[in-house]
Chains A and B, each alone.
Chain A
Amino acid sequence: MERQAAYLRNALFDQGYLDEQFLQLEDLQDETNPHFVEEVVKLFYTDSVRLIQSIELTLKNTPRDFEKLDKIMHQFKGSSTSIGAKKVKKECTQFQEYCNVGNVEGCIREFQEVKQEHAALKRKLEHYFQLAREAR
């Protein structure tokens, strides 16, 4: 079980889902804070719901408020960066680039990518945390 957890964890790094910021979080985990990483990740997913909803709403309103979209995405990207969500972060950057040039279709398309990566990572991390817990 432990090996499975370790394998899954390494895969997440190898496949580019996570970057070194995740390692930083792991470094902050110890006996006094044994679930720190999982707590931060949970917090991220809880908190990002409202940001995603906010972007969705703002994308629906016309004319599109690119400045607002950029601001919300900036927050979302910040949080993603803080947990080491590498692919999510990359899609966020792409989204912001579309915002900067006022490309509506690009934004809409890219936002789907953001959500997909966001959800994919969530599944993988949930699985990993479950294995890690069972391994203890």
Chain B
Amino acid sequence: MAVEDIGSGCSSSGDQEFHVLAVDDSIIDRKVIERLLKISLTAVESGSRALQYLGIDGERSSLGFDELKVNLIITDYSMPGMTGYELLKKIKGSTKLRKIPVVIMSSENILARIDRCLEEGAEDFLMKPVQLSDVERLRDFMLRGGEDREVVGCKRKTRDDSCSSSVLSCDRDHPLSPISVSAMAHCKPISKRSRLLATD
């Protein structure tokens, strides 16, 4: 089964119907992500299936665009066929879909990879195995309506200007307000980054 549709989980806010598209070639990881997110979720096994679902692969998807409701896409990086990065580029290259936040997951600790994904507009980059704390951050982001999408641009600037090499110095009281907390989420791979830098 290539597509798993998990019916409404018990999203604690209950108010809004968030729907997540999870892309991972590992059936185990799809199951874990679904349980972690505890939210209405569609899980697919590849980038091409994801594009089919999203309706931008040239073929007609089963849903009209108006019916398509995806608040977040969370994708593995290393997948056969299309990588998560390639999927990210396709999504960000689509006028229909580029506003949907995309989160990348990877088991490999490669700084250049992380940078590349963030530069391309990924909302966040999570190290696998994904933990509950990572998901809590994502849920916060979604519950806030994921409003600060446009700060992706600012994020890049923030990173270059102030975060530079010492991402560790980024914290929530970043001097560059009005960057919101969700933008800080990118810096918050502090836990990731400090893990990463430590293991380099």
Contact = CB atoms under 8 A, between A and B. Distances in A.
A and B: interacting chains: yes
B26 A78 contact: yes
B80 A71 contact: yes
B78 interface: yes
Given A28-B32, A36-B35, A43-B31, A75 B131 contact: no
Given A24-B131, A36-B35, A44 B28 contact: yes
Contact of A78 (B31, B35, B107): B107
Interface string A21-57: 1001101100011001001100110010000000000
Contacts of A27: 132
Interface string B23-50: 0011111011001100000000000000
B153 to A, nearest CB: 33
Q: Which of A28, A77, A78 has the most CB of B within 10 A?
A: A78
Contact of B28 (A32, A71, A74, A82): A82
B2 interface: no
Contacts of A24: 129, 131-132
Interface of A: 21, 24-25, 27-28, 32-33, 36, 39-40, 43-44, 47, 71, 74-75, 77-79, 81-83
For the complex of A and B, the 7 pairs showing the least CB-CB separation, nearest first, are A79-B28, A28-B35, A82-B28, A21-B129, A82-B129, A44-B28, A78-B107
